[in-house]
A and B are shown apart, each in its own frame.
Chain A
């Protein structure tokens, strides 16, 4: 998408209108050129999406008591959805110990992870980005070092933190030197939630910092000089200049991370396996697949809608201009940059 938004506008058309300058032949050629791509997208995105939605309206296979064999369930209507949303297992409310009963717990804990870790990541990421944006000796080294956690696969990160958070692990050893009792990091309701947040923040703050850094580097230095001449304090410079100017890349970064955490799976699956009430929505989907495919389709459709709705809110009201339209384009440059942070990074002098 960044390729589309950053394509330079043709010098002549100040008010571009659709199809202006294209004759019918060119239109057809254009259509044919994008056709393979569209077809490819249809096969790998649209077909599975609609298939999943279609499956979610069918009943899971039930057992025929006479033969002891499973039989196909047939049409389910919306019962797979009411199962999750209204907590109905057949006629009764889902008893504790069924996956259905865990839906709202999983929803809240996923939202909790999202809000808390994205919040911490924004603060830390901003701070890291400001450090990396300064001119000092060994800046290249610091940038590389900050990137390391992002380069490690999540599953490996989760295993590393699993050792750190083991009962006899280093986290409890360190805590005991300052007189704190050892915690059950993978089972205690609060400790387990924070274990996941700590590991997630550790891993993804570099990503946040990179995107913000890309935005920071596009703020021209003379704006700061002007502020200095006007006698602005450091805080004023930050709130009146830096923040508004990096707002767009910042919002894009927040959007990406929010969508990421909403479908968090590998970290809690490996670190706690749901201990201490840390089963996320995606973990619930995977568990459900093993016991009922159609019901799992319904749940993943719900998760998909939740994520799509969140993305919509961000783009509509949060100013995360991911799909920017040329006519309204005022902050085109910063919005285009985060799509390719590495390139933005590489072009800065002295990096």
Chain B
């Protein structure tokens, strides 16, 4: 009996020791990660890991194979995350906080770059680590730049376009007022006139900033200070609110995300739709699409000429904790090479970041929207590049959503946007 008790005690003590070790391991990672290890491993080479969101078009496998065949000693391993942007963000944050050296190159959404850079998690692409960006579309480079330093290589871009019905509208509207003028055509055909994505989510931020930018507003100035409390921004929101009230924008548009608005356009219920390029292929090939061959794209309309789209897309950045940064930099160059960009466009409809590809004749023949898309991206304004982006997008979404429904005047909405951004510190 005594012996058995002794044994049990030993077991208990051992269990305790294990538990303590677990706890110690668990709190090892929470001391912020502001220390800079950016210079270490700048010249080192070795196998790396590339982390990105779920690959729905089968691009990753062939890409990795191609790299590995020419870099047998510096092979890349691909890790796919979930297909939800929020989850990808949280996964990256967890690995960065743990200073995980196994995440060498990570794919980040355009709006995360500043946050990650300010936390000290990304390797600045300067000096020995510089990445040439000649030939890139300028807004994509601007969105990858924080504090005048490039932190990521743009790998794919995205810009919004205006989808319109060619059977009902001969020439697409160039200005916003022209577009509202054509709403009578929609009425005669028993359909709704215009919709974007006006639900309260990230897409709402994209749409709202487009409208404010179109009227000449600047959400933040070049130093990152909020400047959204301006008559121009209020005018942009007012245009939306007025036409939402008058019915030119259908009332269900405030429940629309990308897919709901695409469904409405494909069902022939919308004359004009603001959406991303992915709609083009689906609307022309989907079995249920009622608008096959009856639609085309144009640049978004502005006040007196083409409007400004919000910039979308992804970038690849090198983790500050990577051990093989020289290989990682080569890998970034490989991802942004014209050849790779072209493959991404052909196989996955990912908009290239390199200007010359948009005029490739074979590609334009296959994707007639490319010239319009190039104009859209070249004029695009990126969402505020600020480390406080989560708070900034919250400020825009909440106030825009209240303004479009008339719960708040446009002037009050932009004022609240400004003070909410200021309260966040950005």
Contacts and interface: CB of A to CB of B under 8 A. Distances in A.
A29 B34 contact: no
Contacts of A43: 19, 22-23
A98 interface: yes
A95 B423 contact: yes
Contact of A72 (B15, B32, B200): B32
A95 B419 contact: yes
Given A43-B23, A98-B394, A290-B390, A68 B255 contact: no
A223 interface: no
B24 to A, nearest CB: 11
Contact of B416 (A51, A96, A290): A96
B384 interface: no
B261 to A, nearest CB: 11
Interface string B394-405: 111111011000
Contacts of A32: 5, 8-9, 12
Given A68-B146, A70-B387, A96-B398, A290 B89 contact: yes
A184 B252 contact: yes
Given A89-B423, A98-B424, A273-B201, A68 B416 contact: no
A209 to B, nearest CB: 33
Query: Max chain B CB contacts within 10 Å: which of A43, A72, A97?
Result: A97
Interface string A168-205: 10000000000000101111000000000000000000
A275 B253 CA distance: 13
B214 interface: no
Contacts of B12: 32, 35-36, 39
A186 B253 CA distance: 11
A47 B420 contact: no
A341 interface: no
Interface of A is mostly: mixed
A166 B394 contact: no
Query: Max chain A CB contacts within 10 Å: which of B19, B255, B394?
Result: B255
B423 A274 contact: no
B9 A275 contact: no
Query: Which range holds the interface residue count of chain B?
Result: 35 or more
B395 A72 contact: no
A40 B19 CA distance: 8
Interface of B is mostly: helix
Contact of A69 (B11, B19, B34, B422): B34
B312 interface: no
Contact of B255 (A39, A69, A274, A275): A275
Given A69-B118, A167-B252, A184-B255, A99 B394 contact: yes
A48 B260 CA distance: 41
Interface in B5-56: 5, 8-9, 11-12, 15-16, 19, 22-23, 27, 32, 34
A156 interface: no
29 contacts: A29-B5, A35-B12, A39-B19, A40-B19, A61-B32, A61-B34, A63-B425, A63-B426, A68-B118, A69-B34, A69-B120, A94-B423, A95-B422, A96-B416, A97-B395, A97-B397, A97-B398, A97-B420, A98-B420, A99-B391, A185-B255, A186-B199, A187-B254, A273-B199, A275-B199, A275-B254, A290-B86, A291-B390, A291-B424
Given A68-B117, A167-B255, A273-B200, 9 more contacts: A32-B5, A69-B119, A92-B419, A97-B396, A98-B420, A98-B423, A184-B252, A274-B200, A291-B390
Interface of B: 5, 8-9, 11-12, 15-16, 19, 22-23, 27, 32, 34, 86, 89-90, 117-120, 146-147, 199-201, 251-252, 254-255, 260, 263-264, 387-388, 390-391, 394-399, 401-402, 408, 416-417, 419-426
